[in-house]
Structure 1
Amino acid sequence: MSYNYAKAFGWDSVAAAAVFAALYSPLAMYFIYKIIQERRRVLFRMTLFCIIRITAFILRAVSVGAPSVGQNKNIFIATEVLFSVGFFGLLYATYSLVMDRLDLCEEESMPIPIIGNLLRLTRNRHLFRMALIVPMALGIAGINIATENPNSTTGSSLRKASAIIFLILTVLQGLQTLVLIKAEHEGKDSLKYTSTSFGVKHASLIFGIISLLLLVREVFTVATIDQTLKANNEHFWYPLVALPEILCVICYTIPTLIPPKEKAADLAKYNV
């Protein structure tokens, strides 16, 4: 009897995967439309994330609905890799926009020196991007090894390391968001821009919500890293992983949260 990877790893619902693929489709179209209006790197990242999620959910739905596809190891690995690597783009998009907002504020310092120094270090965009590549690469390697040999401790260790590093980076990004909220709401007179637009006016709080959603996703991932059945249980996975991600993407459709290119220069050099 052939081994069904989809069933073995807890994939059960065709409908849920199909619904999420359908929900991501108009979001992808929205960001494609925005790219046509103005070519911004953050818009490309969000578009790519949506396309990756659409592809991953379609593959997941097909794997569950068609036993022959669910038994295909390569398709299973491809689906798992897509779910793993997509988070890179979402987290980096959030981080880069928060950094852009911080660049518009007067310099703020954290009251605890160690945390302050660490956050100043993570404001190096190139360094943060390179740090994100590490857990992504570890995760891909771990998925391949674990699928080839489910009893392999190496594959499990690599996936655990990937999840923990992603969690650390998510926490650091969340702390940067707290710095932004503090800077914008305790030092309004020091802001280098003014605007009545909802997306601009409340951006720091919206980023706070996004950061919290990302943290929920990563905490669940790390908490269940050694509990495969619980981690893949769709009663937990969809509300604690899939739902927070799509809510983050929906937040990015709030007008002017990603500032229009012509307004960016007026606000002060948004580099997104």
Structure 2
Amino acid sequence: MPQVAAADWGVEGDAVRVVIVGASGTMGALVSEALTQRGADVLRAHRGSGVDAQSGAGLAQAVVGSDVVVDCLNITTQSAAKAKAFFGTAATNIAGAAEQAGARVVCLSICNAADPAVNRRMGYYQGKAAQEAAYAQRLGDRCTLVRTTQWFELAQTMTDQLSAGPVALMPHMVTAPLAASDGAAAIVDEVLEPSGRHAIEVRGPQEMDLVDVARAIRSAHGKGGWLIPIRFGGAALRNGALIPAHADVVTTTTLDQWLAASN
């Protein structure tokens, strides 16, 4: 693996130095680009660059000299054991590296994922709960969680993953979905203008079922066949428990606007 060194920082002077862990993922890439555009000195950290947050390899070296570490890590699993091991271990390692460097952490999370009523049948969300707990224990108020509702992009990803020929499945998930780019903007704001809060709750402009989002995406992309709604993950996902009771940020991009921009 290539090694990341402190000398890889590209901007001198007073620019905020930010390490993005998980920079190769959807949100990590968006945050990296947006921070760069706003003048931050960004180091993109991921396995391809020699940083493995779960094992800790290359992590401390990458974080040296940083002001903020942004955790945008992701894993594709619904196994609670795998998700908790991944997110909990990585958060502990990142927190330790950030402490050593004197940096604070901004972590991407999911609205209400730590609520047992929400995550009881969702192994991935249990992993996010373990991540939040690890940061709270290690860093306290030196970590801010930016919790978002589900992204429009999630509906597309899920139907792609749950497709067989002309048939696609989509779980009922009543939420207030948002464009991932709007979620990235909320993270960037927290990095550059820290609130000092434990958590920032971010939701989209309209409450809707992700089944309807998936149908709109398939229609906009000219996909035929059948989209079959399914019950998965428990009643909380279907009754609006994914929506924060009090949002700090309500994003503005509607589904129609996002579809128009993505076509």
The verdict on a shared fold, with TM-score over 0.5 as the criterion, is no
Greater relative contact order: 1 or 2 (C-alpha under 8 angstroms, separation 6 or more)? Answer: 1
TM-score normalized with structure 2 length: 0.29
* Higher share in helix: 1
* Higher share in strand: 2
